[in-house]
Each structure stands twice: as structure tokens, then as C-alpha cells.
A and B are shown apart, each in its own frame.
Chain A
Amino acid sequence: MSFDHLSWPRHTDRLTIRPATTADLAAVFAVRSHPDVAEWMPGRPTSYDEWLLALGRSGAVDRMLVMERDGSVIGDLYLHVEDAWTQAEVSEQGKRAQAEIGWCLSPDHQGHGYVTEAMRTLIGICFEDLGVRRLTANAFAGNTASLRVMERLGMVCEAHNRADSLHRDHGWVDGVTYALLRDDWRAAAKA
């Protein structure tokens, strides 16, 4: 999907959020190829050219946003709107009803709450602009920094799956899914 029909960039207190362009990819690669970052990410890119090719093939650029702090890209955000599971007769109502979110931050900028700040804005976009009714985020259970962000965002741990995810170095390890419903998010915003 494309984010073209929304208005960009969005500004938070300290950050600017906007869809990624090809001009951002070198900065995103620098973050993604950092060993501490790649530990929990789907891939550990080593060659910039190969990473670009894989990105182009998968269409992942279309689901990528970047976070900027003082004009520099400090990480990327992932947003994938998808169809919810429905019984066949009501599938129309499930179209684009949910989204998966994710993030990746440069180790140089961790510990300042930037991801939480950016994701709060992105969650608002999902629920209020995109018509999504439910958000999920998946992680290795050992990725405690990410789990803390999910909890700060008000997401609830809905699944803890035993040895369901294969890590390149640690083998089969537990995976978790956190979720947030639009109704709960709106109720919390009012409270």
C-alpha cells in the first residue's frame, strides 16, 4: 500500500515522521546493519546492494516510514494494513480492518522514548485516518526493549507462543504478539 493519500510529514514534539524515499535508504541501512539492531530484526543485511534488491522485490519500501530528529534519520517504522480474519460471508467488512506495526531505532538514539513518541502518532494515523480497528505487533520474547515500547503504548500481550520462532543464532525461541483495539485506545485517550 502507499501512504500517498495522507498528509505528510507529521511532527511530534521532537520528531518528524514521513514515508521513506530512496534517498533515506542509506541511512536506514546503516541502522539495520548494526549488529545490536539486526539481533532481533527479520534480516541481518551485510551488503547494501543485496539489501536494496531484497527491499525492492518485497515492496517493503512502500510500508516504511522514517523518523527524523534534527534533520537526520534515526530509524524506521513499519506499517502494514491488512485484512482481518473473517468468515467467508462477511469478508468485505474485514478488508483493511487491521494493521501490523513495527520499528527500528539507531542504537545511538536509544533511551530517549523516541519510538514511543513516534508510534503514538502513527497509531493515531492508523485508527483515525486509515480506519483500522485493531493493531498488532510481533516480537521475539527476548526482545525486551521492544516489549517495553509495546507496553508503554498501551498494547496488551495476547499471545506468548512457545518455541514458535526461529532465530539465526538462538534457534527456536518464544514469540509474542501484542495488540491494541481502536475502542480501547480511544477510551484511554479520553481518560
Chain B
Amino acid sequence: MSESPASTPPFERVAWPVRTERLLLRPMTPEDFGRLYEIRAIPEVTHWLTGRPASYDDYVARYGTPERLASTLVMEAGDTIIGDLFLSLATPYSQVEVRDRAMDTEAVLGWLLDPAYAGRGYATEAARELLRICFEDIGVRRVVAGAFADNTASQRIMEKIGMRIEGRAVGASLHRDLGWRDHVDAAILADEWRAKPR
């Protein structure tokens, strides 16, 4: 049986590295772990993130898995890694009779920036390019991203790149220091992305 493009792992559908005006994006490799851990070891970086690695070994155990390597990109400015990006395919809800048509048609995005490089629009530039990669190279029909509602910096990026806040789940997410907090979800459809001037 010939392999359809849709069954190719998403990163293999993209010609790396991808360059933007100021950044270079490429899949993460084990050689990047040291620098990426350095960024994740900064407490303000992990304030809103799922996990706060306790050590380098803990970081590698959690973020160095084959699944993570297949869904994490690094962003470089000049020759310096300044953050990482998350891109993973997901299957949205469908009735069972049409499940095969829904498989892997959605992408989930995330981003993380070394605070030393904040305030210059790098994360927005990278996230905007991620959307292009999702719709043009990978070919998904919808892209989503979620965040703690208090993480306004992340939501501003979602809105700047054209995503719509679609949902706010009240008291749905447990923060290690702040307790139960609201969660927001944003989305954009391929048709909306194509229709938008960029």
C-alpha cells in the first residue's frame, strides 16, 4: 500500500530549517538539551508551563522522549537558541462513522522564550511562522493553543497571529502556586488564515 502524505510524521513534511526575518526554526535534537534546560531552569519561564524540571536529568527524562523530539522545534536568533516551540497533531471530536476523516486534522501549538529575549516580538514571529507551517506545509485544517487565562503575554501572541479565543473554562486548571485558575483556548481555521492579510 502506498503511503499517503497525511500519514507522514508532521515534521517530515517540512523543509528544514525554516527561516523568518530574524529567526531560524528547526526540529530539536539531543544536542539542544543543555541550552533548552538552561531556559527551563529559569522560574519565570515555567510559571505557566505544565512542568518545572527539578534537574537536567529530569528535563531530559521528560522532554527528551521520541514523542517530544517529534513535536518540539528550537528557535535560533543569530547562533543562539532563544526558546522552543511545540507542534503536535491531534484528532478533533468526530462521530465514529467518520473518524478516519478527522484523524490528525488539527495542530496544537505552544511556545517558550528565554526572558532575556522578551519584548522584541520573537515569539510572535515564530508563532506566526508556525501557523504557516501548519497550514501550508503540514496541511491541517484547524490550529489550537491553550493557556492559563492569567498568562496574558501568551494570549496576546495568539491574538496577534490571528487566533480567536473560543473558550474560557472557569477554574479548570490547577496551578502549583495559584490554585484553581481559568483556562482559555484559542483557534484558527485554515480558511480564516488564508483570508487574512499578513
Listed residue (A88, A93, A167, A181) with the most chain B CB atoms within 10 angstroms of its CB: A88
Asked if B129 lies at the interface with its beta carbon under 8 angstroms from chain A, I say no
Asked if A168 lies at the interface with its beta carbon under 8 angstroms from chain B, I say yes
Majority secondary structure of chain B interface residues (helix, strand, loop or mixed): strand
Asked if B6 lies at the interface with its beta carbon under 8 angstroms from chain A, I say no
Would A166 and B92 be within 8 Å (CB), given that A44-B97, A87-B50 are in contact?
A: yes
CA of A166 to CA of B103, assembled, Å: 11
Identify which of A22-30, A105-113, A114-122, A153-161 touches chain B: A153-161
Asked if A86 lies at the interface with its beta carbon under 8 angstroms from chain B, I say yes
Report B-chain residues with C-beta under 8 Å of the C-beta of A85.
172-174, 183
Asked if A34 lies at the interface with its beta carbon under 8 angstroms from chain B, I say no
Asked if A36 lies at the interface with its beta carbon under 8 angstroms from chain B, I say no
* Total CB contacts across the A-B interface at under 8 A: 95
A191 to chain B minimum Cβ distance, whole angstroms, is 19
What mask results when residues 158 to 189 of chain A are scored 1 for a CB within 8 Å of chain B, else 0? Answer: 11111111111000100101010100000000
Asked if A90 lies at the interface with its beta carbon under 8 angstroms from chain B, I say yes
Which of A84, A156, A166 has a CB less than 8 Å from the CB of B172?
A84
Which of A88, A156, A159, A168 has a CB less than 8 Å from the CB of B95?
A168
CA of A156 to CA of B30, assembled, Å: 45
Can you identify 23 A-B contacts, CB atoms within 8 angstroms? A42-B96, A43-B95, A85-B174, A87-B51, A87-B52, A88-B50, A89-B176, A90-B175, A90-B176, A94-B174, A158-B169, A159-B167, A159-B169, A161-B187, A162-B166, A163-B189, A164-B142, A165-B93, A166-B92, A166-B94, A167-B95, A168-B97, A179-B170
- A interface bracket (residues with beta carbon within 8 Å of B): 35 or more
Which A positions have Cβ atoms within 8 angstroms of B? 41-44, 84-90, 93-94, 97-98, 133-134, 136, 138, 156, 158-168, 172, 175, 177, 179, 181
A131 to chain B minimum Cβ distance, whole angstroms, is 14
- CB pair A160–B166 under 8 Å, yes or no, is yes
